[in-house]
A = this chain, B = another copy of it.
Amino acid sequence: MIIVLTAKATKADADAILAQIEQAGLKPLFMPGVERIVLGALGDERVLQKLHLEANPCVQEVKPILTKYKLVSREVQAHDSVVRLGNLAIGGDRFTVIAGPCSVESQEQLMGAAKMVQRYGAVALRGGAYKPRTSPYDFQGMGEEGLKLLKQANTALGLPTVSEVMEVSQVDSLCQYVDCLQIGARNMQNYGLLKAVGETQKPILLKRGLSATIEELLLAAEYIYDAGNHNIMLCERGIRTYETATRNTLDLNAVAYLKQRSHLPVIVDPSHGTGVRELITPLSKAAVAVGADGIIVEAHLNPCQALSDGHQALDEADFAHLMQSIAPFVQAAGKTL
Q: Which residues of A contact B (CB under 8 A)?
A: 2, 4, 7, 29, 31-36, 38, 40, 42-44, 46, 49-50, 52, 54-57, 63, 65-66, 68-69, 75, 132-138, 166-169, 186-187, 189-192, 209-211, 213-216, 219, 222-223, 226, 238-246, 249-257, 259-260, 273-274, 276, 278-279, 282-283, 285-291, 303-307, 310-311, 313, 328-329, 331-333
Contacts and interface: CB of A to CB of B under 8 A. Distances in A.
A249 B304 CA distance: 33
Contacts of A55: 303-306, 310-311, 313
Contacts of A209: 210
Contacts of A49: 137-138
Given A40-B31, A52-B307, A135-B68, A249 B249 contact: yes
A interface SS class = mixed
10 contacts: A29-B31, A31-B42, A34-B44, A49-B137, A68-B134, A134-B219, A213-B245, A239-B243, A260-B279, A285-B289
Contact of A278 (B65, B260, B290, B329): B260
Nearest to A243: B213
A56 B244 contact: no
Nearest to A7: B75
A46 B35 CA distance: 13
A319 to B, nearest CB: 14
A244 to B, nearest CB: 7
Contacts of A190: 166, 186-187, 190
A319 B72 CA distance: 30
Contacts of A132: 189, 191
Contacts of A242: 211, 213, 239-242
A243 B256 CA distance: 14
A90 to B, nearest CB: 19
Contact of A253 (B192, B223, B246): B246
A33 B42 contact: yes
Contacts of A133: 191
A287 to B, nearest CB: 8
A54 B247 CA distance: 13
A133 B256 CA distance: 26
Contacts of A38: 2, 40, 42, 65
A38 B41 CA distance: 11
B213 A65 contact: no
Contacts of A282: 255-256, 259, 289-291
Given A4-B65, A135-B219, A219-B134, A279 B303 contact: no
Question: Counting chain B CB atoms within 10 Å of each CB, which of A7, A136, A310 scores highest?
Answer: A136
A56 B287 CA distance: 27
Q: Which residue among A63, A166, A240 has the maximum number of chain B CB atoms within 10 Å of its CB?
A: A240
Contact of A276 (B52, B75, B257, B289): B257
B244 A273 contact: no
